[in-house]
Copies of this chain bind each other. A is one copy, B any other.
Amino acid sequence: MSAIVESVPNFSEGRRQDVIEAIVDAYDSVEGARVIDYSSDPDHNRTVVTLIGSPQAVSEALFRGIAKAAELIDMNEQHGEHPRIGATDVVPFVPIREINLEECAALARALAQRVSEELGIPTYLYAHAATRPDRKVLANIRKGEFEGLKAALEAGDPNRAPDFGPSRLGSAGATVIGARPPLIAYNIYLTTEDVSIAKKIAKAVRHSSGGLRFVQAMGVLVEGRAQVSMNLLDYTRTPLHRVTELVRREAARYGVNIHSAELIGLIPEQALIDAAQWYLQLDNLKPESILEWRIVQSA
């Protein structure tokens, strides 16, 4: 199989339907890349697009979407609840198959350079593509939003200078481009209605309070059942099975079991195959052992 990347570009329009559709159409205009989902929030005044395909096709589609958003959105007029600095606000490349984070970071750098050169939009590299430690975190780049960044650049603040492009903001603002692992939204339901147990388990397993490194978690009550609601930020380093078995162990301490689990949104197939390999103890499972991985592309 050939390399596959995902991208989840966010653009700053969630109200004008004709503008939203024109931009989504631009993202969906390249053969070999496809918009598989998008959702707009009028209060946030923002749209999130999910795009997958070959690295080349996705890069080209992202460029077209960024160009179209720059044409149709004026950041001097745009307001909404969600923090933003540009018409296209943030663009992560996500490795899915036969491509790694470093290669995605290279795609991010190439796209950022092209956007700055051909469209004159300042671009910042973030997450795994960041050129400076403080730019690993998106919130640092977006500090002060469009208005604050504009003022800082006009004041000549060297710390806010973009990675590529001019140190001033036009009507399209600036765009943050980078690479990150796929995020898995994973909820575990417990055999109890006592939400305090879910909260205790969430606290035990999440990174912020001493738990597993790539886990965010909170305890909530969903339809009368306590749920540990989680984001898994890097399933290659904190895998589903480890999270599940730690939740199971913590639950047992309160006399509770796992009732069931659910995924919100999409999961990379590899995350499930990793779990099967671990539970079945298939120490030497190779991609070549999986029938579908040997199928001709044209089949």
A290 CB, nearest partner CB in chain B, Å = 5
Q: Does A263 contact B (CB under 8 A)?
A: yes
The interface residues of chain B lying within 8 Å CB-to-CB of A275 are 275-276, 279-280
Indicate if the CB atoms of A296 and B263 lie closer than 8 Å: no
The interface residues of chain B lying within 8 Å CB-to-CB of A57 are 299
Of the listed residues A33, A281, A283, the one surrounded by the most CB atoms of chain B closer than 10 A to its CB is A281
Q: Does A155 contact B (CB under 8 A)?
A: no
Q: Does A32 contact B (CB under 8 A)?
A: yes
Q: Which stretch from A201-209, A223-231, A265-273 is at the chain B interface?
A: A265-273
22 pairs of residues in contact across A and B, judged by CB atoms under 8 Å: A2-B299, A4-B299, A32-B299, A34-B295, A36-B294, A52-B291, A52-B294, A97-B292, A240-B280, A241-B280, A260-B281, A260-B282, A261-B283, A262-B282, A266-B294, A268-B292, A269-B269, A269-B290, A272-B290, A275-B275, A276-B276, A276-B279
Indicate if the CB atoms of A266 and B289 lie closer than 8 Å: yes
Of the listed residues A258, A279, A294, the one surrounded by the most CB atoms of chain B closer than 10 A to its CB is A279
Indicate if the CB atoms of B281 and A267 lie closer than 8 Å: no
In Å, the complex CA distance between A268 and B269 comes to: 13
Contact residues of A: prevailing secondary structure? mixed
A61 CB, nearest partner CB in chain B, Å = 11
Question: Which residue on chain B has the smallest CB distance to residue A277?
Answer: B272
Q: Does A159 contact B (CB under 8 A)?
A: no
A296 CB, nearest partner CB in chain B, Å = 5
Q: Does A13 contact B (CB under 8 A)?
A: no
In Å, the complex CA distance between A273 and B240 comes to: 13
Q: A276-B275, A281-B261 are in contact. Are A33 and B299 (CB under 8 A)?
A: yes
A260 CB, nearest partner CB in chain B, Å = 5
A128 CB, nearest partner CB in chain B, Å = 19
7 residue pairs, one from A and one from B, having the closest CB atoms = A272-B276, A275-B276, A279-B279, A53-B299, A276-B276, A266-B291, A34-B296
Indicate if the CB atoms of B267 and A289 lie closer than 8 Å: yes
Indicate if the CB atoms of B299 and A52 lie closer than 8 Å: yes
In Å, the complex CA distance between A167 and B295 comes to: 38
| A interface list, Cβ under 8 A from B | 2, 4, 6, 31-34, 36, 52-54, 57, 96-97, 182, 240-241, 244, 258-263, 265-269, 272-273, 275-277, 279-285, 289-296, 298-299
The interface residues of chain B lying within 8 Å CB-to-CB of A4 are 292, 295, 299
The interface residues of chain B lying within 8 Å CB-to-CB of A33 are 296, 299
Question: Which residue on chain B has the smallest CB distance to residue A292?
Answer: B269
A93 CB, nearest partner CB in chain B, Å = 14
The interface residues of chain B lying within 8 Å CB-to-CB of A285 are 263
Of the listed residues A34, A96, A268, A296, the one surrounded by the most CB atoms of chain B closer than 10 A to its CB is A296
